C-alpha cells in the first residue's frame, strides 16, 4: 500500500537522482550517515540477528542436526495446547508442536520469501524500467502501459488470484509476491534513468560508440543503485507483510512448514483458549517488518541530500 505512494512520487525521485554523484563515494557516504542514525542501526542489528537465526536453522537442517529445542514440524497429539512454560517457552499449538521452535523456524521462510520476492521484482523491474527509460518511444509506452495495468489491480488481490491459480507453496508465494511488485521498481528505475540519461557522461559514452547495454550497466545503473537499495529494503518489509497476509488467508506455504501468517490464521480459531498462539507470530512479523522499515528509512535519509545537510 505504501508502495502506491512511493511509485507515484516519481517527481521526488527524479529530484533525488539529480544529486547523484560518483557511485562509490555515494554508497560510502550513505553508510557514514547511516551509522549516525540510531534507529537504522537498531533495524540493521535486528535484521542481522534474524538472518543469523534463519541461516543457522537452515544450515543445521541441511546437516541433519537439530539446534531448535524441538522439531518444529513434529506433531504430537498428546501435547496440544500447552500454555507457555519453562519447557515450551511460547507454548504448543493444536497439534502439540513447540511454538518457540516454529517461530524461529518461520524466520527462515519469511526472510527467504521476502528476499527472493524482492529479487524477482527488482531484477525484472530494473530490466523493464531501464529498457523503457532508455529506449523511450513505443517500447516505453508498451512496457509502462502493462505496468499501469498491473498497478490498477490491488496487489493483494492479484497475489491471491495468483496463489489460487498456482496453488500453495513457498516457490509460488515468491512468484506471486514478486510479480505484483514489478511495476513499482520499473517506474522508479525508469524515472531515474530519464533524469540521468541526458547527463554529459552518458552522452559522451554514446558519442564514443558504447553499446546501449554497456551504457546502462556501466554508466546509468551505478548512479541509481543507492535509490534501488532503499526501495529494496522497504520492499522486503512489504513482501514479509504480503507473505503473512497470504498465509493468514490459508494461501501460503505447504504444511507442515512453519510460516508466521499461516500460524496466525490458524490461531484465530483459538483466541480464547490459546491466545498465546496469536500473540507470538504477530510479534515476530511486526518485529521483522519494523526492522526493515527502520533500516529503509535510515537509508532513505542517508540518501536524501536535504537531510544530509541537516
Partner 1 sequence: MLNYILKRILMLIPVLIGVSIIVFLIMRVFSPDPAPIVLGQHATQLATEAWRQANGLNDPVYLQYFNFITGALTGDLGTSYYTKMPVSKEIFARFPATIELALVAIVLASFFGILIGVISAVKKNSIFDNIGMLIALIGVSMPIFWLGILLIILFSGTLHWLPSNGRIDPMLQPVAVTGFYMIDSLIAGDMDAFTDTLQHLVLPATALAMYSMAIITRMTRSSMLDTLQQDYIRTARAKGISEGRVIRKHALRNGLIPIVTVIGLLLGSLLGGAVLTETVFSWPGIGAYTVTCILKSDFPVVQGVVLLIATIFVMVNLIVDVIYAFLDPRIKYSKVKG
Partner 2 sequence: MRKMKKILALALAVAVVGVTMTGCGKPAATDTKPAATDTKPQATDTLIYAQGAEPRGLDPALVDDGESAKVMINIYDGLLQYNKDSTKVEPSLAKSWEVSPDGLSYTFHLQEGVKFHDGTDFNAEAVKVNIDRQIPPLVTADMAYGSFVYGSVKDVQVVDKNTVKVNLTAPSTPFLANLAMVMSAPIVSPKALTDSKNNVNQAPVGTGPYKFVKWSKDENIILVRNDEYWGTKALTKNVIFKFIKDNSARVVALNNGEADMIDGIDATVVKQITDGGNKIFQAPGMNVNYMAYNTSKAPFNDAKARKAVSQAINVPELVKSLYQGYSEPANSVLPTFMEGYDKSIAQVSYDAAAAATAIKAAGLTKVHMIAYTNPRPYNAATGQTLAEAIQGYLSKVGVTVTIDSYDWTTYKEKIKAGDYDIAFYGWIGDNGDPDNFMYLLSHEDPTMNIARYKNDEFNKLIAKGLETPAGAERNAIYTQMEKVAAADAAWLPISHAQTLCAYRPNITNFYFHMTGITPLVGVGKK
Q: List interacting residues with partner 2 (CB under 8 A).
A: 74-78, 80-81, 94-96, 164, 167-168, 250-251, 254-256, 266, 268-274
CB 40 within 8 A of CB 297: yes
Please, which residue, 239 or 251, has the CB nearer to partner 2? 251
162 lies in the binding site for partner 1 (CB under 8 A) = yes
**Residue (82 or 150) nearer to partner 1, CB:** 150
Say how far residue 116 (Cα) sits from the centre of its chain: 8
Residues 3-42 that bind partner 1 (CB under 8 A): 4-5, 8, 10-11
Residue from 152, 198, 208, 209 in contact with partner 1 (CB under 8 A): 152
For residue 267, report the phi and psi dihedrals to the nearest 5 degrees: -65, -25
CA distance 272 to 243: 25
Smallest CA-to-CA distance from 233 within 161, 292, 158, 146 is with: 292
Q: Which helix (H) or strand (E) holds 256?
A: none
| Separation between Cα atoms, residue 281 and residue 103, nearest integer Å | 7
CA–CA distance, 110 with 244 (Å, rounded to integer): 8
Helix axes 221-248, 99-135, angle to 10 degrees: 140
Q: Decide if residue 74 touches partner 1 (CB under 8 A).
A: no
Q: How long is the chain? A: 310
CB of 171 to partner 2, least distance (A): 13
Query: Per rule CB under 8 A, is residue 225 in the interface with partner 1?
Result: no
Among partner 2, partner 1, none, partner that 254 touches (CB below 5 to 8 angstroms by kind): partner 2
Q: Rank residues 25 and 78 by Cβ distance to partner 2 and give the closer one.
A: 78
Using CB under 8 A as the criterion, which residues of the chain lie in contact with partner 1 when the complex forms? Answer: 1-2, 4-5, 8, 10-11, 144-146, 148-157, 160-162, 164-166, 187, 237, 241, 244-245, 248-249, 261, 264, 268, 271-272, 275, 278, 282, 285-287, 289-290, 293-294, 306
Amino acid at each position: 500500500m505504501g508502495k502506491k505512494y512511493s511509485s507515484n512520487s516519481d517527481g521526488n525521485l527524479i529530484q533525488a537522482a539529480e544529486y547523484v554523484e560518483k557511485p562509490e563515494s555515494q554508497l560510502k557516504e550513505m553508510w557514514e550517515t547511516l551509522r549516525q542514525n540510531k534507529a537504522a542501526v537498531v533495524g540493521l542489528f535486528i535484521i542481522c540477528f534474524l538472518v543469523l537465526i534463519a541461516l543457522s536453522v537452515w544450515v543445521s537442517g541441511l546437516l541433519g542436526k537439530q539446534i531448535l529445542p524441538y522439531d518444529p514440524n513434529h506433531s504430537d497429539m498428546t501435547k496440544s495446547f500447552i500454555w507457555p512454560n519453562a519447557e515450551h517457552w511460547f507454548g504448543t499449538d493444536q497439534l502439540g508442536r513447540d511454538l518457540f521452535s516454529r517461530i524461529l523456524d518461520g524466520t527462515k521462510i519469511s526472510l527467504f520469501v521476502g528476499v527472493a520476492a524482492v529479487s524477482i521484482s527488482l531484477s525484472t523491474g530494473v530490466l523493464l524500467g531501464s529498457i523503457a527509460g532508455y529506449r523511450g518511444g513505443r517500447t516505453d509506452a508498451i512496457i509502462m502501459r502493462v505496468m499501469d495495468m498491473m498497478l490498477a489491480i490491488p496487489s493483494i488481490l492479484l497475489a491471491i488470484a495468483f496463489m489460487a491459480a498456482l496453488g500453495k507453496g513457498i516457490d509460488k508465494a515468491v512468484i506471486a509476491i514478486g510479480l505484483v511488485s514489478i511495476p513499482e521498481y520499473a517506474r522508479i528505475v525508469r524515472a531515474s534513468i530519464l533524469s540521468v540519461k541526458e547527463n554529459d557522461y552518458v552522452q559522451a559514452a554514446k558519442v564514443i560508440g558504447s553499446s546501449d547495454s554497456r551504457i546502462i550497466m556501466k554508466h546509468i545503473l551505478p548512479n541509481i543503485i543507492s535509490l534501488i537499495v532503499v526501495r529494496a529494503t522497504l520492499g522486503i518489509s512489504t513482501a514479509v507483510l504480503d507473505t503473512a497476509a497470504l498465509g493468514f488467508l490459508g494461501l501460503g506455504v505447504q504444511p507442515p512448514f512453519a510460516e508466521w501468517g499461516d500460524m496466525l490464521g490458524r490461531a484465530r480459531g483459538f483466541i480464547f483458549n490459546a491466545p498465546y498462539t496469536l500473540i507470538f507470530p504477530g510479534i515476530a512479523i511486526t518485529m521483522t517488518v519494523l526492522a526493515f522499515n527502520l533500516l529503509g528509512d535510515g537509508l532513505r535519509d542517508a540518501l536524501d541530500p536535504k537531510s544530509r545537510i541537516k
